[in-house]
Homo-oligomer: A and B are copies of this chain.
Amino acid sequence: MKKVAVILSGSGVYDGAEINEAVLTLLHLSKAGASYQCFAPNVEQHHVINHLTGEVSNESRNTLVEAARIARGEIKPLAELNAADFDALILPGGFGAAKNLCDFAVNGASAKLNNDVKVACSAFKDANKPAGYMCIAPVMVPMIYGKGVRVTVGNDAETAAAIEKLGGEHVDCAVDDIVVDENHRVVTTPAYMLAKSLDAAEKGISKLVERVLAMV
């Protein structure tokens, strides 16, 4: 059975992991007969957004504790992720990827990775194990893989330009498709950077999961 580590960044599109993307990732891993373990960094969220009003809420929440809602409690601190125990890695998106896993939402092309994210994701790269990043999460890929890695976030010009500044090569991609960098063994898909429906998001996410598993 193929074993996949999934890194979440909270629970909710505006301050954490995009819930649909996370569930669809786990669903397609489950349907493919793969096993998975969720992880998240044990850090305070960048902030909390009231998802009804869109406003910043005057409270603090922990990224790992909130991500546990998606994982039904079956989640571990990201610092405990050992790449040797897994065959592949997948990161769903949501603003949490750009706010809690790195600071791209604040610093754009000057972004830095959370240290646990850097260590964990680099370990998969160094072991030449395949990885999938979706939605906004691909902005982290050049920070991990270095110059020339090919990724997509769909067709958002500003984000694509920031990815190029970070050293990546951005490739435009439709919501129901994936971009595969065979050399770096990285698969990306736009998901909710473009998706207008769950149905559309699922098409790209299921392709990403299928390709990542096929590369194991």
Residues of chain A whose beta carbon lies under 8 Å from any beta carbon of chain B: 11-14, 16, 19-20, 23-24, 26-27, 30-31, 50-52, 54, 59, 64-66, 68-73, 75, 197-199, 202
Which of A51, A70, A75 has its CB near the most chain B CB atoms (within 10 A)? A51
A62 — nearest CB in chain B belongs to which residue? B52
A11: which B residues are within 8 A, CB to CB?
11-12, 19, 69
Q: 22 pairs across A/B with beta carbons < 8 Å?
A: A11-B11, A12-B69, A13-B72, A13-B73, A14-B73, A16-B69, A19-B23, A19-B70, A20-B23, A23-B24, A27-B199, A27-B202, A30-B198, A30-B199, A31-B199, A51-B66, A51-B68, A51-B73, A52-B64, A52-B65, A52-B68, A54-B73
Sorted nearest first, the 8 A-B pairs with minimum C-beta distance are: A12-B69, A51-B68, A30-B199, A30-B198, A23-B23, A52-B68, A51-B69, A27-B198
**Distance in angstroms between the alpha carbons of A193 and B11 in the assembled complex:** 22
Chain B positions within 8 Å of A70 at CB level: 19
Residues of B near A68 (CB, < 8 A) are 50-52
Residue pair A26, B198 in contact (C-beta under 8 Å): yes
A64: B residues at CB distance < 8 A: 52
Question: Closest Cβ of chain B: how far from A7's Cβ, in Å?
Answer: 15
A102 to B59, CA, bound (A): 27
Cβ B23 vs Cβ A198 within 8 A: yes
Pick the most buried of A26, A31, A69: most chain B CB atoms within 10 A of its CB: A69
**Which residues in B have their C-beta under 8 angstroms from that of A13?**
69, 72-73
Q: Smallest CB–CB gap between A109 and chain B, Å?
A: 27
- Cα(A64)–Cα(B52), bound, Å: 8
